Amino acid sequence: MPDPVVLFFALGLAARLARSDLRMPEPLYEALSIYLLLALGLKGGAALAESAAPALAGQALLAVALGCVLPLIAFAILRYAGGIDRSNSAAIAAHYGSVSVVTFAAGLAYLNARAIASEPTMPFLVAVLEVPALLVGVLLARLGTGREAQLLRTVREAAAGKSIVLLAGGLAIGALLGKEGTAPLQPLFGDLFKGALCLFMLELGLVVGGQLPALRRAGAFLAGFALAVPPLFGALGAGTGWLMGLSHGGIALMATLAASASYIAAPAAMRMAVPEANPALSISVVLGVTFPFNVLVGIPLYERMAAAIA
């Protein structure tokens, strides 16, 4: 049975390619993204309240390490194999090192539909994985230029960005409330989640369709990079998930996270911290290639990887 999340995404994509006048109101898009981030945070937070702190700390450390290594690999490929300038290589590397919460949500929906359980604390690792790559990206862009002071500003701005505020805020509220305390919120933040995700994917299909013309300007190397990196990073994520001692579902989600590329936190952080990098380059491949690849092909692939090593 096809996944509804994928079908809604395909509908949005088809509508944009057919030049339909369908346009999701921007406030609805914003409201849905706030909802999805909070819902994931709350669910993970309630699970955090019942988890062993030492195991979580170990997992968080491994996630930070992964979040630092991925952008370094991406940077090396872009800079030395692709000959792309330092600023653009660093900015694109930050996008690929950081994570896409929606790709994670799509992965979670895929696993749920197949009754594959995963650690309920996974949203905590999403929040942990989101930021390190942004800092590494800024460092790579600024190292040796005498403008390292940008780093503190990036930390501040990334921490105050909406995705971290809502995800980390949801985690904190969920942890304070616990399972019982969050139970009254379940009708809104739990039961409606999958439907809301479908609406959001419809809009992302429209956005991705709009990015396809810009792909031509990104060039064959970047497009190839955007296709090759997700399986490679997915394998590294799966390995990290295995080291963390995660279950089959947990490993699949770690692989999905590592394979995903940020399109909310990273563009916002890179825009101000590395303004000379061309945002059209990174966005066209992140949204035009990597996101649809992960949703359509990647997630089932990462689930298979996880099944093989779990």
Q: Which residues of this chain interact with another protein, rule CB under 8 A?
A: 23-24, 26, 29, 203-204, 206-207, 210, 214, 263-264, 267-268, 271-272, 275-276, 279-280, 283
Name the minimum Å distance from CB 278 to another protein.
9
Compute the distance between CA of residue 2 and CA of residue 8 in angstroms, rounded to an integer: 11
Q: Which is nearer to another protein, 30 or 50 (CB)?
A: 30
Q: Which is nearer to another protein, 40 or 48 (CB)?
A: 40
Name the minimum Å distance from CB 267 to another protein.
5
Name the minimum Å distance from CB 264 to another protein.
5
Name the minimum Å distance from CB 107 to another protein.
20
Cα separation values, 58 from 70, 104, 246, Å = 19, 21, 12
Q: Which is nearer to another protein, 280 or 307 (CB)?
A: 280
- H-type alpha helices, 49-192: 53-76, 86-97, 101-113, 122-130, 132-142, 150-160, 162-182, 186
Question: Angle at CA 99, nearest 5°, toward 228 and 222?
Answer: 30
Compute the distance between CA of residue 222 and CA of residue 248 in angstroms, rounded to an integer: 32
Q: Which is nearer to another protein, 184 or 213 (CB)?
A: 213
**Cα torsion for 62, 68, 71, 73, to the nearest 10°?**
-70
Name the minimum Å distance from CB 162 to another protein.
8
Residue by residue, DSSP assigns 47-77 as HHTTS-HHHHHHHHHHHHHHHHHHHHHHHHI
Q: Which is nearer to another protein, 173 or 212 (CB)?
A: 212
Name the minimum Å distance from CB 268 to another protein.
6
Give Cβ neighbours of residue 50 (< 8 Å, ≥ 6 apart).
178, 179
DSSP-derived 3-state class of residue 116: coil
Q: Which is nearer to another protein, 213 or 224 (CB)?
A: 213
Name the minimum Å distance from CB 126 to another protein.
17
Identify the H or E element spanning 255: helix 248-259
* Phi, psi (rounded to 5 degrees) for 120: -65, -10
Compute the distance between CA of residue 300 and CA of residue 292 in angstroms, rounded to an integer: 13
- Given a contact cutoff of 8 angstroms between Cβ atoms, the answer to whether 231 and 298 are in contact is yes
Q: How many residues does the chain have?
A: 310
Q: Which is nearer to another protein, 162 or 194 (CB)?
A: 162
Name the minimum Å distance from CB 283 to another protein.
6
- Given a contact cutoff of 8 angstroms between Cβ atoms, the answer to whether 299 and 256 are in contact is yes
Q: Which is nearer to another protein, 108 or 287 (CB)?
A: 287
